[in-house]
Amino acid sequence: TASPSPLSDLSQEALSDLRRSLREEYEALKGRGLKLDMTRGKPAPEQLDLAAEMLALPGNRDTTAEDGTDARNYGNLQGLSETRALFAPVLGAPADQVVVANNSSLALMHDTLVYALLKGVPGGKGPWSKDTDIAFLCPVPGYDRHFTLCEGFGIRMIPIEMTGEGPDMDAVEAAVADPAVKGIWCVPQYSNPSGETYSEATVKRLAAMKTAAPDFRLMWDNAYVVHHLTDSRPQLANILDACAEAGHPDRAIVFASTSKVTIAGAGLALLASSPANVRWYLAQAGRRSIGPDKLNQLRHVRFLRDAAGIDAHMDQHRALIGPKFAAVEQAFSARLDGRDVARWSRPEGGYFVTLDVTDGTAGQVVSLAKEAGIALTPAGATHPYGRDPHDRTLRIAPTFPKLEEVRLAAEGVALCTLLAAVEKRIG
Binding site residues, ligand PLP, CB under 6 A: 41, 104-106, 143, 187, 192, 221, 223, 257, 259, 269
8 Å CB contact between 284 and 362: no
* 320 backbone dihedrals φ, ψ, rounded to 5°: -80, -40
* Three-state DSSP class for residue 186: strand
Nearer to ligand PLP, 26 or 143 (CB): 143
Nearer to ligand PLP, 237 or 266 (CB): 266
CA distance 80 to 293: 10
Nearer to ligand PLP, 105 or 358 (CB): 105
Nearer to ligand PLP, 36 or 187 (CB): 187
**Kind and range of the H or E run holding 54:** none
Nearer to ligand PLP, 134 or 271 (CB): 271
Provide the minimum distance between the beta carbon of 223 and ligand PLP in the complex, in angstroms, as a whole number.
4
Provide the minimum distance between the beta carbon of 45 and ligand PLP in the complex, in angstroms, as a whole number.
17
Long-range contacts of 88-94 (CB under 8 A, 24+ apart): 88/272, 89/307, 90/225, 90/226, 90/256, 90/270, 90/307, 90/310, 91/222, 91/225, 91/254, 91/256, 91/270, 91/272, 92/238, 92/239, 92/240, 92/241, 92/254, 92/272, 93/240, 93/254, 93/272, 93/273
8 Å CB contact between 327 and 406: yes
Provide the minimum distance between the beta carbon of 181 and ligand PLP in the complex, in angstroms, as a whole number.
21
Full DSSP string of 253-314: EEEEESTTTS-TTS--EEEE--HHHHHHHHHHHHHH-S---HHHHHHHHHHH-SHHHHHHHH
CA distance 417 to 427: 15
Provide the minimum distance between the beta carbon of 12 and ligand PLP in the complex, in angstroms, as a whole number.
44
* Among 212, 152, 397, 146, residue whose Cα is nearest residue 160: 146
CA distance 322 to 324: 5
Nearer to ligand PLP, 105 or 345 (CB): 105
Provide the minimum distance between the beta carbon of 121 and ligand PLP in the complex, in angstroms, as a whole number.
20
Nearer to ligand PLP, 105 or 238 (CB): 105
Nearer to ligand PLP, 145 or 346 (CB): 145
Provide the minimum distance between the beta carbon of 400 and ligand PLP in the complex, in angstroms, as a whole number.
11
* 26 backbone dihedrals φ, ψ, rounded to 5°: -65, -45
Residues in the chain: 427
Q: Which amino acid is at 28?
A: A
Provide the minimum distance between the beta carbon of 14 and ligand PLP in the complex, in angstroms, as a whole number.
42
Provide the minimum distance between the beta carbon of 111 and ligand PLP in the complex, in angstroms, as a whole number.
12
Nearer to ligand PLP, 243 or 271 (CB): 271
CA distance 193 to 128: 29
Provide the minimum distance between the beta carbon of 161 and ligand PLP in the complex, in angstroms, as a whole number.
18
Provide the minimum distance between the beta carbon of 390 and ligand PLP in the complex, in angstroms, as a whole number.
22
Provide the minimum distance between the beta carbon of 203 and ligand PLP in the complex, in angstroms, as a whole number.
17
8 Å CB contact between 397 and 352: yes
List the 252-257 sheet strands across, edge first: 98-101, 269-272, 252-257, 217-221, 181-186, 135-140, 156-161
Strands 181-186, 252-257: pairing is: unpaired
Nearer to ligand PLP, 69 or 104 (CB): 104
Strands 374-375, 343-344: pairing is: unpaired
What does DSSP assign to residue 8?
G
Nearer to ligand PLP, 77 or 223 (CB): 223
